Amino acid sequence: MDWYPSPEEDVLLRTAAKFATGMAPAVSGSRWFRDPERKDIQEELQGWPPGPAYELRSAGDKAARRTGRALLVGIPMVANIIANFGGAAGTPLGEVPVRGRPQEPENEVQDFPVMWAAPGTLARTVPWQLDPARRPEGYATDLVLTDRRLLFLGTRWGTLEKAEELAEFPRDSIAEARQMKFSEINADVRLTFTDGSWVRLFTGTPDSAERLDQVLSGKVKLLAESALSEGQRERVARFMADLPKTAHPPTCTVLRSGIVLVESRVSVRAGSGIFETHSILMDDAGSPAEPLPGDL
């Protein structure tokens, strides 16, 4: 493992995290950093290296982007059909993205801020390495939620270096994490601080975005591995042994019935930022369990 929590601190969730990217035609491939008056604040962010300046796309650009996206979506669709025809239990290409309707057209269609922050607010202190357009090639960022704090870590693909702690925030400084479903594979989450500032992040899987939403809103409870029974720990160890060595540490969620859902994310391709989720359900003893109505 490339990072360990402090003594007597339990890790609840670790997931990929980077600034999200616009999907609607006018904002496709773009992201902006705004204050509450919707002014650009990139030049005001202390210590940040220069980044690209985006502009809303013209009607011609929009048509081209729509055509290109349709072609790209068609590739995994055909691959999924082939895989399923052959009896495969899934495919690393994942499901075709279905984005639904924008939840906030002003922030998802006409504009796409990934930071909304007045001067002096916490969102302005998140690390610049979250920006794919600024960080070095081969560099990745993770979000870690513990029972005490939320951290951002930085790692380099293909190395055994210890992860960098880029920034940390007390748990009580986080007001909300909301899954934003009008996004690539439904994997965006908006993290809002108690001072009203926020950042929009892409987490790599819809499961990670949903779990952050549920945990920080109090809808579900996450268990640290230290809180598992001996049988559960043995079952989790076997589960992780069957996954690639690059699998993320497991997340253990107590469902409404009391059974435990264990999930681990595995990168589809190094550096892609897209993950597939592997999971099991177990009872108090670590034996396989079936979900009950209302669990999932």
Per residue in 138-158, pLDDT tens? 999 999 999 999 999 999 976
- With tokens 């079952």, the residue in question is 235
pTM confidence score: 0.79
Whether 117 contacts 35, CB under 8 Å: yes
Domain boundaries, the chain: 11-217, 223-282
> In terms of Cα–Cα distance, which of 33, 50, 189 is closest to 125?
33
The tens place of each residue's pLDDT in the chain, 296 residues long, gives 688 888 889 999 999 999 999 999 999 999 999 999 999 999 999 999 999 999 998 755 544 444 444 444 443 333 332 232 233 333 333 343 446 689 999 999 999 999 999 999 999 999 999 999 999 999 999 999 999 999 999 999 767 678 999 999 999 999 999 999 999 899 999 999 999 999 999 999 999 999 999 998 888 889 988 899 999 999 999 999 999 988 888 999 999 899 999 999 888 766 566 788 899 999 999 999 999 888 87
What Å distances lie between residue 263 and 13, 191, 249, CA to CA? 10, 22, 9
Helix (H, G, I), strand (E, B) or coil at 128: helix
18 pairs with which residues across the strands?
A: 202
pLDDT of residue 289: 95
Class of the 11-217 domain? mainly beta
Whether 45 contacts 19, CB under 8 Å: no
Write out pLDDT tens, residues 174-214: 999 999 999 989 999 999 999 999 999 999 999 999 999 99
